[in-house]
Chain A
Amino acid sequence: MSDKPIHKGPHDLGGTAAGPIDTTDHGMKFWERQANALRNTLTRRNVVRVDELRRAAEDLGDLYYKLAYFERTTMALRTLLIEKSLITEAELKARMAEVRARFDAPAATPSPAKKGMGR
């Protein structure tokens, strides 16, 4: 934590200077939809709480500004799973190496939810 007496997390964005909004909805990639389902399943069953995940994202500090939305939420889940001893860092590192080794450039899945509602 910083030694500043006024604490404002990187997430506390209301009223901060910002540029134009990309008003197009870019939808979600397959892995993002799956990550969302994983997160939602864990919180519905109280394995982790939404409040804990928010706190972990807020604690990313300067990294928060460098990450996209699902990158932040992935890092937050990583923090909580290790914090709660559900996984270890070593296990995660090993499994990531395994997952990485399997891939040869899969394409993103277009989201079926983009159809139909004139968004």
Chain B
Amino acid sequence: MSDTSFDYYARKKHDHGHHDHAPAAGKDEGPPSEYEVMSRAMQELLEAKGVVTAEEIRRRMETFEEEFPYRGSRVIARAWTDPAFKQRLLKDGKAACAEMGVELEATRLIAVENTPDVHNVIVCTLCSCYPRELLGMPPTWYKSDNYRARVVRDPRSVLKEFGTVLPDDVIVRVHDSNADMRYVVVPMRPAGTEGWSEHKLAEILTRDTLVGVTVSRVPAKG
């Protein structure tokens, strides 16, 4: 029997009782939606038919949670400290990541560099294409209809909603990730980070800076 301790629904299925192993509660969300029920039912049917196993689903969830979200900032921090690596990253993102041991699986990565003259921002207007193996799952705003609709047409006002204001002499360059390529932004490295380790640099390479809605900053001293 596969390990179902991570899987609340599987426990419910096998235990037929109410246990307090339930995932840590936020506020009570109410009964599951029709789509949650549908998704669970489809998974169980596929498990019963031997198309997938509960274990591989569980492992994939863990990979998405524990591995993918942390890779992008490490790769870009390397690019900030190693100019030759940065050039290789800009030339062929997938190859440069592989060099670092970051296997992007199906993702074809294009890295685009912010400069004093150009600011890049990423979207997928048609769905939610995103370099998941590099950055983890996209944020809810990236998948939202309003972001997808507006950032291609009025990127500067969208950026303002994220607190990012760019002067008119900076080119805003929007990338609509609509086919086989996936994108990551190489932010400008802020002043005041001279001599920082890659680990410390990775901390200011937040997800939002790598999608291009914010710029990388040295946190204010509190």
Contact = CB atoms under 8 A, between A and B. Distances in A.
A touches B (Cβ under 8 A): yes
B64 A33 contact: yes
Interface string A104-119: 1111111111001111
A75 interface: yes
A21 B29 contact: no
Contacts of B213: 23
B166 interface: no
Contact of A95 (B9, B45, B52): B45
A27 B179 CA distance: 25
Interface residues of B, number: 76
Size bracket of the A interface: 35 or more
Given A31-B32, A47-B51, A111-B65, A18 B149 contact: yes
24 contacts: A14-B152, A17-B149, A18-B145, A21-B144, A21-B158, A33-B65, A34-B43, A34-B61, A37-B64, A38-B42, A38-B52, A74-B38, A75-B35, A86-B46, A91-B45, A95-B41, A96-B41, A100-B32, A105-B29, A106-B23, A107-B23, A107-B24, A110-B26, A119-B208
Interface of A: 11-31, 33-38, 40-42, 44, 47, 54, 57, 65, 67, 69-71, 74-75, 77-78, 81, 86-87, 91-92, 95-96, 98-100, 102-113, 116-119
Given A54-B126, A74-B35, 7 more contacts: A24-B140, A87-B45, A102-B9, A103-B32, A103-B37, A106-B23, A118-B206
